[in-house]
Amino acid sequence: MWLWWPAGEANAQLTRRLQLALNTVKRYAGADRPERMLRVPKYRASLVDPYREHLRERRAEDPAVPVKHLFEEIKDQGFTGCLNLLHKYINQGRADADRSHISPRRLARMILARPDNL
């Protein structure tokens, strides 16, 4: 296994030490390489999907652009959904480039921390 894992330590103990869900620990324990640990969330189709590229481009130009402005822009292009739907879409990270399920900072902490400090 590529990740340090204490010999003989039960998954339940690791869930408490790493503060992760049991299924997450099982998935990490069974991973033979880091790429297998990352799982991209699967979402159903949304009304915002046709405007995804426009949202990505605008957020790349100006990451601080208010969601209300984005809403007005895509509404002019034919978006029929509501502002809350757009907020949820952006907060889930669906408008950004594909991102990993675990933040890089947390993943680095799990890999690099001393075992007694986990």
The total domain count for the chain is 2
Asked if residue 11 has pLDDT above 60, the reply is yes
Average pLDDT, the chain: 80
Q: Which domain holds residue 74?
A: 49-91
Q: How far apart are CA 22 and CA 33, in angstroms?
A: 19
> Sorting pLDDT into bands at 50, 70 and 90, what band is 23?
confident
Assigned domain for 1 exists = no
Assigned domain for 3 exists = no
pLDDT greater at residue 47 or residue 106: 47
Assigned domain for 6 exists = no
Asked if residue 10 has pLDDT above 90, the reply is no
Angle between helices 67-76 and 52-61 (to 10 degrees): 140
Predicted confidence (pLDDT) per residue in 28-50, tens digit: 777 777 666 666 667 788 899 99
The residue to which tokens 């992760």 are assigned: 20
3-state secondary structure 66-84: CHHHHHHHHHHCCCCCCHH
Q: How far apart are CA 65 and CA 94, in angstroms?
A: 16
